[in-house]
Amino acid sequence: MKKVLLWGFAALSLLCISCKKEDPASDNSDFVTITSVVPDVILEIRYFGTYNFVGTRIDGYQVPTALLSRQAADSLKAVNDEVKAQGFRLKIYDAYRPQCAVDHFVRWAADIPDVAMKPYFYPDLDKSVLFDQEYIMAKSGHTRGSTVDLTLFDMNTEKELDMGGTFDWFGPESHPDFCGNPDTFEYTGDNSKSPAGRSITPEQFANRMILRKAMLNHGFKPLDSEWWHFTLKEEPYPETYFTFPVRQLP
């Protein structure tokens, strides 16, 4: 009888283990491929290729696509509808970013001698300050699934709208308040924060503000250090840092 009971408890234990829920951080069931919601969005997934501040494909990017939580993707469609009426399309550089990609950034930043991409993305900075100045951190809002890096594509000129600086430029020139007031959308020309005396034109600042206004209009909040970075205010997973790779979803 004891053997029967022991076998019964063992079987029940195995059943309980098999019924345990999947690790929430690996669950992509509430995510969508952005192009399934916004079909005419343009993708240039920088971390799938080699033109990025690391100079290699980043871990976790299995295909050159962009994923977001369903809520963020639906809000992004509303943004796209607004800018499309103005003659633009959204162009996405990055969206959901798995934790292994962030870990890749951290390893790269700790490898001080590797400065192959310095002339293109951080010419005014010594690589040793990237952690202290929080250009690289161990956690990223992108990993929570409702943050997107993007710009505007001008349908008339068939080129990206001139924002006066490249995506992932490490420096104050990327700040939304560089040469202007992002709260009033007014150009001031104040370039005093630029260590190299760089500047942007009134038109370039105005272009940044077109993107900012549209994102704010549809529930996204900006970041004070990157004109291209926006997070859904009511993000569904504010405490979860997901681990599944970037791949095409069903």
Which letter, b or e, does each residue of 4-30 get, where b requires 16 or more Cβ atoms within 10 Å of its Cβ? Answer: eeeeeeeeeeeeeeeeeeeeeeeebee
Closest CA to 241 of 144, 101, 103: 144
For residue 15, pLDDT beyond 70: no
Chain position carrying tokens 């809000």: 75
Pairing type for strands 67-69 and 31-33 reads antiparallel
Question: CA 129, CA 114: separation in Å to the nearest integer?
Answer: 14
Chain position carrying tokens 């494909």: 57
Tally the C-alpha atoms within 13 A of residue 207's C-alpha that lie toward its C-beta.
20
Closest CA to 69 of 104, 30, 21, 97: 30
For residue 30, pLDDT beyond 50: yes
Closest CA to 164 of 194, 136, 142: 194
pLDDT of residue 250: 81
For residue 13, pLDDT beyond 60: no
For residue 11, pLDDT beyond 90: no
More confident site: 233 or 6:
233
Question: CA 10, CA 89: separation in Å to the nearest integer?
Answer: 58
For residue 19, pLDDT beyond 70: no
* pLDDT, tens digit, 9 for 90 and up, residues 162-185: 999 999 999 999 999 999 999 999
Tell the burial category of 70 from Cβ atoms under 10 Å away from its Cβ (0-12, 13-18, 19+).
Answer: middle
pLDDT band with cut points at 50, 70 and 90 for residue 123: very high
For residue 14, pLDDT beyond 70: no
For residue 4, pLDDT beyond 50: no
Instruction: Tell me the percentage of the chain whose pLDDT exceeds 90.
Output: 90
* 22 noted as active-site residue: no
pLDDT of residue 23: 87
Catalytic residue (one of 82, 160, 226, 239): 226
For residue 158, pLDDT beyond 80: yes
- Phi first, then psi, for residue 45 (nearest 5°) are -80, 95
pLDDT band with cut points at 50, 70 and 90 for residue 1: very low
Is the pTM value of this prediction over 0.85? yes
